[in-house]
Amino acid sequence: MARVLSLFRLQPFLALVGRRKVGLCKMSMDSRARQVFASALEAVQPDTVVHRSIERHKDDVLIDGHKYTLKHNLHLVGFGKAVLGMAAEVERIMGDHLVRGVISVPRGIQETLQQHGKDHLLLNKNSCIKVMEGAKNNLPDADAMKAAQEIQQLASELTEKDLLLVLISGGGSALLPAPIPPITLEEKADVTRRLAAAGATIQELNTVRRALSSLKGGGLVRHAQPAQVVALILSDVIGDPLDLIASGPTVYSEVRFKETLCILERYNFLNSLPDSVKDVFAIPDHHWKKNKGPSRSSENIVNVVIGSNSLALKCASRRARELGFRPVVLSPGVCGNVKDVARLYGLIAHFASFQDEAPPEISAELLKLGPLVGVESWDLHRTMQVLDEARAEGWGATCLLAGGEPTVELTGKGRGGRNQELAMRVAVELKTQKLPPRGPVFLSGGTDGQDGPTEAAGAVTDGGLWNEAQAQGLDINKFLENNDSHTFFSQLSDGKHLLVPGQTCTNVMDVHLLLIPTVPITVKAAQLES
């Protein structure tokens, strides 16, 4: 009787799995991966995140639980790749109280948005917000510095009756270059460039940048005193640390000049510093004495992260579920060398492919790789447990999601980016796996729509890529050695594997997704007889 009841319970479940599988076959694994990625992008569109973060009732607005009364006292500044669209939505919500604004955005973005029919991300023709373009190729330049000076001037003229809304997104640091006078932009860039070449850590570089900057490290809010300041932030940094996003212009950070001098001395730079830098270090607080004082009060400052990689992954998970997958978020903080990251995803795919329990050596290697790629051990344990349960209980297909920003070790002079190279390397890891829909599919894409100096955001690959490339006379290893991933994908099958979403108007790092098909259910006799 127990055996009969067990079969009775299993059959409807197997039938349900079968029906779902037939429905999903109408759409390829490649198409579903692209749809999940598109949902991640949609979730962090600049106008969407701003609209979600501001609640207006007549002349009052509620932002992150804080209530502000508008009395034609609203001023706006912004800097970053997504700021134009953010400003357009602010204008729609609160434009009747907006006095003036200045935003610093990438060169050519207005023309690009017009060409792509994204007029909803553009300001009104009669807008009181001044748009200034600069930082070509994401590098600080004279145009970006001029915009920073105008932003600084606007902030410096505010009073206690004013509300300053600051819009920040990825790329904001390059679009807000304002070295402390008399330091020039070239001198500041040269000091940080030489430090980087000498092997300085990112923490050391940020310490020096803040010491030489007028607006970073809380400089902007110092200029804006005593006005109220609210910053809406679209994060492009792992973990969303407020002091690192665009170098923290709205986050008070004590400038430790002694620490900065120790860093410069450590790399033997003290004697070769420009005279302007020496002058600033000689009188550490002279810059703030000329302005409104070095107050560190944060009572009038509110920083709100309104969009991030975690939000993108959350909405991607929802879409994955709609497409019939069980979503599992591994981590929004994947980093490290793409070689290690590719190995991690390859091991996860192998771990999930076994009908019975995966060999312990796979689990051991995964846990060893975790610290190298920014994935916590408990996240890996949780992910493996979910995959084990899926195998044991006969769940359907799984969509593993992650985000972050891995790095590429440059050994060649090819054309590509970290997402396309990661996709290639994962494909190599998957070459012993079955082909879709019975085998896994991997996608890696930059949410800003541009992977390195290419028009692609990334690529979609699977275990058949190796043989596909060989059949067309393309040597994957040679392309990888030359960091030439974009050329490879462009030549392979007329570029069908490339991920080209066009102008995305946002930036919350990268999205990775691994679609793992259903593992065939093995019903053991012992289970049936229990």
pLDDT tens digits for range 230-245: 999 999 999 999 988 9
Would you give the distance in Å from CA 10 to the centre of its chain? 43
Mean pLDDT across the stretch 13-35?
61
Average pLDDT taken over every residue of the chain: 89
Assigned token pair, 25:
């076959």
Exposure string (b/e) for 332-346, b if CB count within 10 Å is 16 or more? Answer: bbbbbbbbbbbbbbb
Asked if residue 525 has pLDDT above 70, the reply is no
Mean pLDDT across the stretch 249-256?
81
Mean pLDDT across the stretch 486-502?
97
Do the Cβ atoms of 384 and 366 come closer than 8 Å? yes
At residue 197, the pLDDT reads 82
CA dihedral 231, 234, 238, 241 (to 10 degrees): 0
42 or 393: which carries more pLDDT confidence?
Answer: 42
Q: Which pLDDT tens digit goes with each residue over 289-308? A: 444 544 445 678 999 999 99
Residues making up the chain, counted from first to last: 530
* % of the chain beyond a pLDDT of 90: 72
Q: Which pLDDT tens digit goes with each residue over 331-390? A: 999 999 999 999 999 999 999 999 888 999 999 999 999 999 999 999 999 999 999 988
Neighbouring CB atoms inside 10 A of 499's CB total 23
Instruction: Give the separation between CA 177 and CA 138, rounded to whole angstroms.
Output: 12
Instruction: Give the separation between CA 225 and CA 291, rounded to whole angstroms.
Output: 10
At residue 202, the pLDDT reads 67
Cis amide linkage into residue 360, ω under 30° from 0? no
Q: Phi/psi at 57 (nearest 5 deg)?
A: -130, 100
Tell me 135's DSSP state.
-
Helix residue ranges, H only, 323-359: 338-353
Element (H, E) at 113: helix 109-115
Q: Is 112 exposed, middle or buried (0-12, 13-18, 19+ CB in 10 A)?
A: middle
Quick one: pLDDT band at residue 527, thresholds 50, 70, 90? very low
Asked if residue 10 has pLDDT above 50, the reply is no
Do the Cβ atoms of 243 and 251 come closer than 8 Å? yes
* % of the chain beyond a pLDDT of 70: 90
Q: What phi-psi label fits residue 13: left (phi over 0), alpha (psi between -120 and 50 degrees) or beta?
A: alpha
Do the Cβ atoms of 234 and 507 come closer than 8 Å? yes
At residue 442, the pLDDT reads 98
CA dist 481 → 70, 339, 421, 452, 497 (Å) = 58, 12, 10, 17, 20
Among 191, 203, 302, residue whose Cα is nearest residue 252:
302
252 or 494: which carries more pLDDT confidence?
Answer: 494
CA dist 167 → 171, 332, 361, 452, 476 (Å) = 12, 23, 48, 25, 42
Q: Which pLDDT tens digit goes with each residue over 15-24? A: 333 333 434 4
Cis amide linkage into residue 437, ω under 30° from 0? yes
The SS3 assignment for 403 reads strand
Neighbouring CB atoms inside 10 A of 515's CB total 26
Quick one: pLDDT band at residue 211, thresholds 50, 70, 90? confident
Q: Which residues contact 355 (CB under 8 A, 6 or more apart)?
A: 391, 519, 520, 522
Strands 163-168 and 228-234: parallel
Quick one: pLDDT band at residue 164, thresholds 50, 70, 90? very high
Neighbouring CB atoms inside 10 A of 524's CB total 8
Asked if residue 65 has pLDDT above 90, the reply is yes
Q: Which pLDDT tens digit goes with each residue over 92-146? A: 999 999 999 999 999 999 999 999 899 999 999 999 999 999 998 888 999 999 9
The SS3 assignment for 18 reads helix
Among 336, 333, 342, residue whose Cα is nearest residue 309:
333
Mean pLDDT across the stretch 158-179?
94
Among 522, 527, 508, residue whose Cα is nearest residue 236:
508
Tell me 90's DSSP state.
H
Quick one: pLDDT band at residue 393, thresholds 50, 70, 90? confident
Pick from 2-6, 260-264, 297-301, 518-522: least confident: 2-6
Mean pLDDT across the stretch 190-215?
83
Mean pLDDT across the stretch 148-155?
97
